[in-house]
């Protein structure tokens, strides 16, 4: 925008449940419409079943990124940039922004085809400039890369269903003074995408579906195309590619309350690490000010995590800086590409471009039954063996047959008894000495284990602190740099007006207003950063206290275990001594 310098509406598209374009009532708001049609319930279930099958997707190295061949078409209203005939460098700007979000596993290959340009004023309304045709029709008409469901067709339109108003008013004062005011607004749908179907090669109309596959986006997503100073919305392209790779909106809901309002859906987009949330009227109003992360939680009765209001795949974009994708979303895009898109061409070639009717399977495609787990064969029950005496158990514990009196030693009987008593006492002393050594050893072992566990806990807290500290510094550094870049960009843009006397006063006033805005945002960032640091310090302190408490509990448990072990050991020794004494008394 020229003055507001905030993207009012960018037109992010939906994955499901929003197949129609916005009506004019939507255009009066500061929120974005929905341009991507959804899958049917049957198609969604089939896609979920395919994704639920064995997952062999692994983390991909840089050299293993998925290559996406790109075919680009530009459909302009006239041959000017403002008329939609955007430059190659501007298209490159859009594709480069793709890398911000998808460099983990994909890259776009533009070398396979040149950019095709056409001037088509007949496609756009003569007054509003909006696209008057059907997206599927032009995607089918300008489709290239036949037979490859893994290639991406991108069509840049002059406008889709997005509109922009940028008005300038000059007024004269009684003293001959003049002042100029600007106002701007925008809204509508700026992009739409096709949705990948699971095992498309099995459908009879697969070729027709493949020909309507791709993206349709407005050229106004590029900065300064709608009008000079308009920020644009490069993230919209990455958002639409997310749909092309199988992602739903994070606030997607298949549930409606009795009065027709969208309700919290615990499934949402079907990805675990995107919190359950909705975009109700209150949230939309809050989003106009781009609130700090963590301040919105619409479905806290289902999910205590804050709403991902800046996730790339949220359905409505208010010009705020967007985050990337979660790990779960990244994993989903890899799975969809590898299971839905990549196999299509090979499967179609095997079938000679003939597609098996839905519900039937061709030879060689029968599902393989899983082998049942083999149960272990029953083993013959072993006969109980006679109990052998314990190694350290005194022999006197076993029943002894008394020798007949005529066979017992008559001479030196007292010496034999004394030797037997001495032997038993020696064995008892040895067992007690062993106990004391084992006691000290076990006590030291428990202490060392508790100390090591406590050390590991504190080390983990420290490691978490360092990781979050690094992430926080990088995040805030990026914010401050982005703010400075915007400030520099605005300065460069206003320089052209300072050089014109009739606009210099306005440029001064505009710069002063911008400076106040930048200062306010700088202050907000600083306040936000202080809050992050306070939370980090508090979490770290709580983590340390938790470690201390866990260490105390572990020490108490170790003492209980030690006492129990010692009591059982002493009882065993006392029982042995008691049996030995009974044997001595019987002599």
* CATH number of residue 120's parent domain: 3.40.390
The confidence score (pLDDT) of residue 217 equals 94
Show the domain range for 530. 417-586
Question: Where is the domain boundary, 351, 377, 397?
Answer: 351
State how far the Cα of 404 lies from the Cα of 586, in Å rounded to an integer: 14
Q: Would residue 58 count as lying in a domain?
A: yes
Number of domains in the chain: 2
SS3 for 377? Answer: coil
Q: Give the pair of three-digit tokens for residue 526.
A: 């600083």
Question: Measuring CA to CA, which residue among 255, 265, 270, 262 is closest to residue 326?
Answer: 270
| pTM higher than 0.95 | no
Q: Which long-range contacts (CB under 8 A, 24 or more apart) does 57-65 make?
A: 57/331, 57/334, 57/335, 57/338, 60/104, 60/105, 60/334, 65/103, 65/105, 65/106, 65/107
Q: What is the pLDDT of residues 512-532, one digit of tens each?
A: 998 998 899 899 989 988 988
Cβ proximity of 179 and 505 under 8 Å: yes
Shared domain check, 205 and 120: yes
> Considering the chain, what is the average pLDDT of its residues?
77
Question: Does residue 16 lie within any of the structural domains?
Answer: no
Q: How far apart are CA 46 and CA 129, in angstroms?
A: 39
Clarify whether residues 155 and 36 are in a common domain.
yes
64 and 150 in a single domain? The answer is yes
Does 412 reside within a domain? no
Euclidean distance between CA atoms 520 and 6, whole angstroms: 15
**Both 144 and 243 in a single domain?**
yes
For residues 76 and 164, membership in a common domain is answered with yes
Considering the domain boundaries, does residue 386 fall inside one? no
Structure tokens at 288: 């106009």
What mean pLDDT do residues 206-224 have?
91
- Sequence-distant (≥ 6) Cβ neighbours of residue 26 within 8 angstroms: 33, 187, 188
> Residues 329-355: what's their mean pLDDT?
84
Q: Tell me, yes or no, whether 423 and 346 share the same domain.
A: no
> Would the pLDDT of 83 be above 90?
yes
Which three-class secondary structure state does DSSP give residue 184?
strand
Residue 52 has pLDDT above 70, yes or no: no
Domain final residue, candidates 306, 331, 351 = 351
Contact 84, 159 (CB under 8 A): yes
Same structural domain for residues 422 and 342? no
Span 248-273, mean pLDDT? 75
Count CA within 13 A, CB hemisphere, residue 497: 18
- Look at residue 123 in the predicted model and tell me its pLDDT: 94
| pLDDT tops 70 at residue 221 | yes
How far lies 31's CA from each of 106, 288, 315, 519, in Å? 30, 9, 10, 26
What lies within 8 Å, CB to CB, of 44 at 6+ separation is 16
Q: Which two tokens stand for residue 207?
A: 């070729």
Please count the helices (runs of H) and the strands (runs of E) in the chain. Answer: 10, 8
Alpha-carbon distance values, 214 to 32, 143, 240, 345, 453 (Å) = 21, 9, 9, 16, 54
Residue 245 has pLDDT above 90, yes or no: yes
Q: How confident is the model at residue 407 (pLDDT cuts 50, 70, 90)?
A: very low
**Residues 319 and 459 both lie in one domain:** no
With cut-offs at 50, 70 and 90, classify the pLDDT of residue 166: low
In a shared domain, residues 44 and 189: yes
Grade residue 301 by pLDDT with cuts at 50, 70 and 90.
confident
User: Tens of pLDDT along 521-572?
Assistant: 899 989 988 988 998 898 889 889 988 998 898 899 889 988 998 998 898 8
- Taking 80 as the threshold, does the pLDDT of residue 164 lie above it? no
Is the domain of 489 the same as that of 564?
A: yes
Give the single-character DSSP code of 213. -
One domain, residues 192 and 328: yes
What are the φ and ψ backbone dihedral angles of 460, each rounded to 5 degrees? -65, -40
pLDDT-derived band of residue 75, with 50, 70 and 90 as boundaries? very high
- Looking at the domain assignment, is residue 200 inside a domain? yes
β-pair partners for 67: 107
Both 143 and 220 in one domain: the answer is yes
How do beta strands 161-172 and 178-189 pair? Answer: antiparallel
């Amino acid at each position: 925008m020229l003055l507001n310098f905030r993207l009012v509406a960018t037109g992010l598209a939906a994955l499901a449940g929003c197949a129609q374009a916005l009506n004019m009532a939507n255009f009066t708001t500061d929120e974005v419409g929905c341009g991507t049609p959804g899958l049917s319930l049957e198609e969604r279930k089939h896609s979920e079943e395919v994704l639920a099958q064995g997952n062999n997707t692994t983390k991909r190295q840089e050299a293993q990124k998925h290559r996406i061949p790109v075919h680009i078409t530009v459909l302009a209203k006239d041959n000017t940039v403002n008329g939609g005939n955007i430059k190659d460098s501007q298209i490159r700007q859009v594709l480069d922004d793709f890398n911000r979000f998808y460099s983990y596993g994909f890259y776009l290959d533009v070398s396979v085809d040149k950019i095709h340009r056409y001037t088509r004023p007949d496609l756009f309304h003569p007054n509003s400039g909006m696209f008057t045709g059907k997206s599927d029709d032009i995607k089918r008409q300008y489709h290239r890369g036949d037979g490859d469901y893994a290639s991406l067709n991108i069509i840049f339109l002059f406008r889709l269903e997005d509109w922009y108003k940028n008005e300038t008013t000059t007024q004269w004062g009684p003293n001959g003074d003049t002042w100029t005011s600007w106002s701007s607004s925008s809204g509508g749908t700026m992009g739409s995408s096709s949705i990948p179907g699971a095992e498309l090669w099995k459908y009879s109309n697969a070729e027709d579906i493949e020909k309507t596959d791709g993206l349709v986006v407005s050229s106004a997503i590029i900065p300064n195309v709608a009008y000079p100073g308009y920020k644009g919305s490069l993230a919209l392209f990455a958002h639409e590619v997310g749909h092309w790779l199988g992602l739903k909106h994070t606030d997607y809901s298949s549930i409606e309350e009795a009065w027709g309002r969208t309700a919290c859906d615990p499934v949402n987009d079907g990805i675990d690490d995107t919190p359950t949330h909705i975009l109700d009227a209150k949230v939309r109003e809050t989003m106009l000010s781009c609130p700090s992360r963590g301040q919105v939680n619409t479905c806290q009765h289902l999910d205590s995590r804050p709403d991902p209001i800046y996730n790339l795949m949220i359905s409505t974009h208010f010009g705020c800086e967007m985050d990337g994708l979660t790990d779960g979303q990244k994993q989903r895009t890899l799975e969809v590409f590898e299971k839905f898109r990549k196999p299509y061409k090979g499967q179609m070639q095997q079938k000679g471009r003939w597609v098996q009717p839905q519900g039937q399977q061709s030879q060689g495609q029968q599902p393989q039954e899983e082998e049942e787990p083999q149960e272990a064969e029953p083993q013959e029950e072993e006969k109980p063996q006679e109990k052998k005496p314990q190694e350290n158990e005194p022999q006197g514990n076993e029943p002894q047959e008394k020798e007949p009196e005529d066979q017992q030693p008559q001479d030196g009987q007292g010496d034999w008894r004394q030797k037997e008593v001495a032997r038993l006492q020696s064995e008892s002393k040895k067992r007690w000495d062993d106990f004391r050594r084992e006691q000290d050893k076990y006590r030291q072992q428990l202490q060392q284990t508790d100390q090591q566990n406590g050390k590991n806990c504190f080390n983990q807290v420290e490691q978490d602190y360092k990781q979050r500290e690094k992430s926080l510094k990088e995040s805030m550094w990026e914010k401050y740099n982005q703010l400075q870049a915007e400030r520099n960009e605005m300065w460069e843009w206003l320089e052209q007006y300072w050089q014109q006397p009739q606009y210099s006063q306005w440029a001064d006033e505009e710069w002063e207003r911008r400076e106040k805005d930048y200062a306010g945002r700088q202050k907000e960032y600083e306040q936000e950063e202080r809050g992050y640091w306070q939370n980090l310090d508090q979490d770290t302190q709580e983590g340390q206290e938790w470690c201390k408490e866990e260490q105390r509990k572990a020490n108490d448990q170790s003492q209980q275990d030690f006492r129990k072990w010692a009591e059982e050991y002493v009882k065993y020794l006392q029982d042995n001594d008691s049996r030995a004494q009974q044997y001595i008394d019987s002599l």
